[in-house]
Amino acid sequence: MFLLSKFKIRGHSMEPLFKDGEKALASFIPYLISKPKVKDVVIFKVKGKYFVKRVRDIKNGKYFVEGDNKKDSLDSKNLGKISNQEIVAKVIYKL
């Protein structure tokens, strides 16, 4: 992971914020200073696959993440809560 990384969004789980094929700029730097907060859009890695979702809830150091398009989202309802170690970066800009 570089200071800034570009990610291509695949799927419809973050619509209307991101449509399939759009790009996001993300950085790990914000999370060197503070922990993810509710409403942050984060990139995380589970089972070798990257996901982009919004943090909806934080309990006991675990993050419940969810796509903005709740009808079409593979998220914590399916993957379970994620740990701080699984979070790769914060989305900081839509390209």
> Which one, of 68, 94, 64, lies nearest residue 79 by Cα?
64
User: What size, in residues, is the chain?
Assistant: 95
- Side chain identity at residue 60, one-letter code: N
At residue 79, the pLDDT reads: 93
Average pLDDT over residues 62-73: 94
> Which one, of 95, 10, 82, lies nearest residue 40 by Cα?
82
Q: Does the pLDDT value for residue 68 go beyond 90?
A: yes
Model confidence at 3, pLDDT cuts 50, 70, 90, reads: confident
Q: Is the preceding omega at residue 16 within 30 degrees of 0, hence cis?
A: yes
> Which domains are seen in the chain, by residue range?
5-94 (2.10.109.10)
Model confidence at 44, pLDDT cuts 50, 70, 90, reads: very high
- Side chain identity at residue 48, one-letter code: G
Query: pTM of the entire structure?
Result: 0.92
Give yes or no for a contact between 77 and 66, defined as CB atoms under 8 angstroms apart: yes
Q: What is the C-alpha to C-alpha distance for residues 81 and 75, in angstroms, rounded to an integer? A: 9
